[in-house]
Structure 1
Amino acid sequence: MIEIKENIFWVGIKDWEIKTFHGEELSTHRGSTYNSYLIKDEKNVLVDTVWTPFKEEYVARLDAEFGLDNIDAVVVNHSESDHSGSLTHLMSQIPDADIYCTKNGHDMIYRHHHMDWKFNEVKTGDTLKTGKYELVFVEAPMLHWPDSMFTYVKGADLLLSNDAFGQHYATSAMYDDEVDQCELFQEAIKYYANILTPFSSLVKKKIEEFKAMNVPVDMIAPSHGVIWRKDALDIVGKYYEWADAYQEDFVVIAYDTMWNGTKSMAEAIASGLKESRVPYKLFNIAKSDMNDIITQIFRSKGVIVGSPTINRRVLSAVSALIETMKGLRFKNKAGAAFGGYGWSGESVSVIEDGLKSAGIEVAVPGIKFRYNPTSDELEECKQFGKQFAKNLKK
């Protein structure tokens, strides 16, 4: 138990070993944490639990350090298994404790655990007096599940934000001002780009709604990663910026290749961007981490995707990238397609269709060549890069 505010404690788990999240969908190079918080007051309240594999360690430690019988209520800000996975094991030992959650949370907790506990459904503005403190509940649907909510601790100026403002980041430190800032913001923007991008319009509205509540916040404690205490609202400003069709001044070139023909095209296109003074980042999709590429696309002004044609389609790594971009629905980004082929040559049109479906505007018509491109064809690729740069600047 680590005290983060007077009589408010972090009681979570640090998972240094985890390297993928949401099954195998999301890479977590720096591990993660499952942050749970305990409010000791006249009424003792536990806010969120931890992922299922840690349930026995978590509950045993709570019992040893605090005593399970002393827990009066559990707030479930979000029912996903990394937050509520220990709930069945915990509630088997404190079955009379109240559970506070949203209406959607009630349904989703039941669908996860199939138990009828003492549920109390709450909505924005509802409160729970613990004694010195008062909990104020703020619904945050689709940030990032329908049941999501925040819990604001009135009297402590503390926002328990669940997934919002989190990072998959295991560290010996507890707070943002104690860690490497480059690592911290790499993980924070990666988290936003890969999880919250589709809900950006809702992020902006929720931030505006919360600001309108005009409550003081000097600490934000998410459910993953470190706690924000140094200028805590700076990360809220970052989220507002990231939610507003965010972009930085560079282009991503992402490709896969079979016999290096498409690779040579990618490098020639890159030389055209460079001569046009447009910074770029070059990725072989099959040899790079998908979520890291997605993070860079989120940050970029545009993305140029390449693949050879195989079975009238694209290589599987390229297909996976396109499908991921479709789900994330990036805003205000330019795109283009290129590729090699042997006889049919459908890859460029497949990529262009995918970019359009992902909400990315095709800035220049795609380019393709058979087998290994000649020096003249590589020069055309360079000019293709220059034309993309020209259109991007417009």
Structure 2
Amino acid sequence: MLRALEIKPDVYWVGGIDWNERNFHGYTTDRGSTYNAYLILDEHVTLIDTCKPEFADELIERISDIIDPARIEYVVSNHVEQDHSGAIPAIMERAPHAKIVTSSPHGLKGLAAHYGDAYEYVSVKTGDILCIGKRTLTFTATVMVHWPDNMVTYSPHDKILFSNDAFGQHFASSKHFDDEVGLPEVLAQAKKYYANIVMPYSRHVVRALGALADADIDMIAPSHGVIWRSHVPEIMAEYARWSSLEPEEYAVVVYDSMWHTTEAMAHQIVEAFIEAGTPTRLFDLKANHISDIMTEVLPAKYVAVGSPTLNNGMMPTVAAFLCYLKGLSPKGGWPGRVGIPFGSFGWGKNGPDEVAESLEKCGFDLAFGTLTHQWTEDEEGLGQLHEAVLAGLGR
């Protein structure tokens, strides 16, 4: 028998644990994930979110540990995406008189498109309230964090923010709270989640944080990962820092190579950054997943990307990384960030030139120009590259 977990008096975690999830839309989830749902027992029993369709039985079994699911009167759907809303049909089959509360207009449109109009929907906007007994739930639209329909639900009685995708982590654990897992692990997972899902919408995060500034929050219950109860100020501070997109004096060097010349260039660029006193990470695309690299891109002032020319263009692995980077680049570009395209070539330097074009489209400043080397590496060429990087850094 699966059990619910009481997180505050009469408030229960009833979600599903996905121990085997390893890839979420191209983002590696080596620690699995959870699909968190929360049951509030009050005069009007309320379920906050559901889970992926394949975890519906797990959700219902946990709810049944506390009450008959038929007693649910409200299902608050903070987000249409199916890892949040996918079990709505299963819940509504057992609680056919429940009303579904969702954002206006996008949540209403999205749920109707997914599940039809046979259910009774209640659409809400920022500032609207729902009285469920001694509790009054309030709603705040968090548009584009990370879909147009996203919203969060706040219970002042419990001081709980049901934060949907914000503050989440793809992390499966038998422990359900931040202080049980340990802050370094949870923050690392939250950072990877932010970099690979939330980062493009950072300006919307800033707006959402402002809208929630006056709420008295002592627990954040996200839709994925562990619940924040001991380190709420820390994760709020990190979100403020990440969403500012303020770069750190930090460099990331990413490359793929055919016959080691671009590889030698990558190592030389790293050495130049080290000489200049700039902390640096090196990533060979053959050995590192792009979602792990993006976690390091999040704070980096310098992002160097290298490719040789292959078939009159850049290598497919580099193109895939840059495509992923472009999709996660904030609207308006990367303020204060420098992109450094580099690479080797034989008879045509289209490979590094395409890298430069892609970095520019992502919104990076190409202050260093494009750093290239023809044919195989040699001491003179690598020395010139080293000096070019130091010159670009003003050293």
In the superposition, the TM-score normalised over structure 1's length comes to 0.95
The equivalences for 1:98-117 within 5 A come to 98-103=99-104, 104-117=106-119
Find the residue that maps to 1:361 and give its secondary structure: coil
Selected match of 1:196 from 180, 198, 216: 198
Q: Contact 1:133/1:153 (CA < 8 Å) preserved in 2? A: yes
What corresponds to 1:357 in structure 2? 361
Name which of 148, 163, 166 aligns with 2:165.
163
For residues 369 and 15 of structure 1, what CA distance do their matches in structure 2 show? 47
Distance 2:388 2:288 in 1: 24
For structure 2, the 5+ residue unaligned runs are none
CA distance in structure 2 between the aligned counterparts of 1:320 and 1:295, rounded to whole angstroms: 16
Residue 383 of structure 2 is matched in structure 1 by 379
SS at match of 2:266: helix
Map of 2:272 onto structure 1: 272
Q: Structure 1 stretch 183-192 or stretch 326-335: which is displaced more? A: 326-335
For 1:43-58, list aligned pairs within 5 A: 43-58=44-59
Gapped runs of 5+ residues in structure 1? none
Would the aligned equivalents of 1:271 and 1:385 in 2 still touch at CA under 8 Å? no
Which residue is 1:340 aligned to? 344
Q: 1:100 to 1:321 in 2, by over 3 A?
A: same
Q: How high is the sequence identity, in percent, across the aligned residues?
A: 37
| Partner residue, 2:221 | 221
Q: Which of 187, 194, 198 lines up with 1:185 in the alignment?
A: 187
Match of 2:9 in 1: 6
Q: CA offset at residue 231 of structure 1?
A: 4.0
Give the drift of 1:311. 2.0
Q: Is the 8 A contact 1:217 1:233 kept in 2?
A: no
Give the 3-state SS of the residue equivalent to 1:9 in structure 2. Answer: strand
Q: TM-score, normalised by structure 2?
A: 0.95
Distance in 2 between residues matched to 1:61 and 1:131, nearest whole Å: 23
Name the residue aligned to 2:145: 143
In the alignment, the residues of structure 2 paired with residue 388 and residue 84 of structure 1 have an alpha-carbon distance, to the nearest angstrom, of 49
For residues 73-93 of structure 1, the C-alpha deviation after alignment (integer angstroms, 9 at most, x for no partner) is 100000101011111122122
Equivalent-residue separation in structure 1 for 2:242 and 2:112 (angstroms) = 34
Question: Does structure 1 residue 20 correspond to structure 2 residue 23?
Answer: yes
Query: Deviation at 1:115?
Result: 4.2
The residue that corresponds to 2:392 in the other structure is: 388
Asked if structure 2 preserves the Cα contact closer than 8 Å seen for 1:269 and 1:383, the reply is no
Moved over 6 A (4+): none
Contact 2:15 2:62 in 1 (8 A): no
5 Å matches for 1:52-131? 52-103=53-104, 104-131=106-133
In 2, distance between residues paired with 1:85 and 1:331?
Answer: 37
Counterpart amino acid of residue 41 in structure 1: D
- Cα pair 1:134 1:154 within 8 Å, conserved: yes
Distance 2:225 2:251 in 1: 29
Letter in 2 for 1:337: P
Match of 1:256 in 2: 256
State the Cα deviation string for residues 132-169 of structure 1 (Å, max 9, x = none).
21111111111111110010012111100000010111
CA contact (8 A) 2:15 2:35 kept: yes
Does structure 1 conserve the Cα–Cα contact (< 8 Å) formed by 2:341 and 2:371? yes
Once the two structures are overlaid, the 10-residue window that deviates more, 334-343 or 230-239, is 230-239
CA-to-aligned-CA distance 1:335-371 (integer Å, 9 cap, x gap): 1111111211112221111111111101212122223
Residue 70 of structure 1 deviates from its aligned partner by 1.2
Amino acid aligned to 2:238: K
1:282: Cα distance to partner? 0.4
The count of corresponding residues between Structure 1 and Structure 2 is: 387
Partner SS state of residue 225, structure 2: coil
